[in-house]
Structure 1
Amino acid sequence: MGKVKDILQNKGRNVFSVDPETMVYKAIELMCEKNIGGLMIVEGESLVGIFTERDYARKLILKGKSSKDTPIKELMTRKPFTVTPENSIEDCMSLMTAKHIRHLPVEENGVLVGLISIGDVVKFVIEEQKNIIEHLEGYISR
């Protein structure tokens, strides 16, 4: 099975982030503009948290807070689970399933270098299985 670096090679290493003082409304605008479900919260060069649509729904809406008056640091998930480019896709699937998470920041030597989502993992697995099937079909038909 492949590794996180294989997903990043195809997807790219673009990471959208904001600082902890950013108002939730601005973060949601960025997520909408970029059509993404999660943002990294970065202070300087350090990953300090993650903010997802789930955080918005459960920590803002249900608690009656205002997105224009609430800094993201009040809602973000602190110390998110991370992986490295060398982690296997299988490791990521296990972690995402066990912890009920959809996004995994990718760090290398303490530096944020990417982000993978459950969609990225599923897409990779489907593509890998497709390649295996094509290889086996070619082998059988020889």
Structure 2
Amino acid sequence: MTTVGQILTDKGHQIHAVTPDHSVFEALELMAKKDISAVLVIEGERLVGIFTERDYARKIILQGRTSRDSRIGEMMSQNLLTVSPSQTVEDIMAIMTENRFRHLPVVSQGKLIGIVTIGDAVKAMLDQQQQTIRHLSGYISGELNPN
């Protein structure tokens, strides 16, 4: 089973973040530059929230606010669930599905070490399935010895 740690090893541990004092516009600029749909919100070394495209649509656009005058600290999602590197892709898929999240920060020993997305989870599941198919095909064709 693929773990969150393995996903991060493959994709990297890069984190894109802003502070609560940044404007929504600054966060959107970073998201556009990095071609990502969410940024983590960090205060000092502490993870305090996440700001996503969904937050922008619901809290800025629909409420008639402006992104230049709105601060991330007022618009971010604060009820964060985090995952550990030892959790499996099946674990994170269940968390994402149940909570309708598409991004999960990864924390190890109290330290933020990365973020996994629904796309990362789907890719890992597809890779697992392809590996299983190759193994079973090899076994059926006699190319693999079960012992």
Identify the TM-score tier after normalising by the shorter chain: over 0.9
Deviations 1:48-97 (A, max 9, x none): 00000000000110001110011111110013111010111111011101
Match of 2:54 in 1: 54
Match of 1:109 in 2: 109
Are residues 1:34 and 2:34 paired? yes
* Residues in 1 aligned to 2:128 and 2:89: alpha-carbon distance in whole angstroms: 11
Q: Which runs of 5+ in 1 are unaligned?
A: none
Scaled by the length of structure 2, the TM-score of the pair is 0.95
* Residues in 1 aligned to 2:79 and 2:49: alpha-carbon distance in whole angstroms: 5
* Residues in 2 aligned to 1:131 and 1:140: alpha-carbon distance in whole angstroms: 14
Q: Which amino acid aligns with 1:87?
A: Q
* Residues in 2 aligned to 1:51 and 1:119: alpha-carbon distance in whole angstroms: 18
* Residues in 2 aligned to 1:118 and 1:31: alpha-carbon distance in whole angstroms: 17
Are residues 1:91 and 2:91 paired? yes
* Residues in 2 aligned to 1:62 and 1:89: alpha-carbon distance in whole angstroms: 34
Aligned-CA RMSD value: 0.7
* Residues in 2 aligned to 1:58 and 1:108: alpha-carbon distance in whole angstroms: 31
Q: Which ranges of 4 or more aligned residues in structure 1 deviate by more than 2 Å? A: none
Deviation at 1:30, TM superposition (A): 0.4
Q: Percent identity?
A: 48
Match of 2:100 in 1: 100
3-state DSSP of counterpart to 2:32: helix
* Residues in 1 aligned to 2:115 and 2:81: alpha-carbon distance in whole angstroms: 11
Match of 2:79 in 1: 79
Match of 1:21 in 2: 21
Q: Which amino acid aligns with 2:36?
A: I
Match of 1:68 in 2: 68
Match of 2:145 in 1: none
* Residues in 2 aligned to 1:59 and 1:81: alpha-carbon distance in whole angstroms: 20
Deviation at 1:36, TM superposition (A): 0.4
Report the structure number with the largest CA radius of gyration: 2
Scaled by the length of structure 1, the TM-score of the pair is 0.98
Deviation at 1:117, TM superposition (A): 0.3
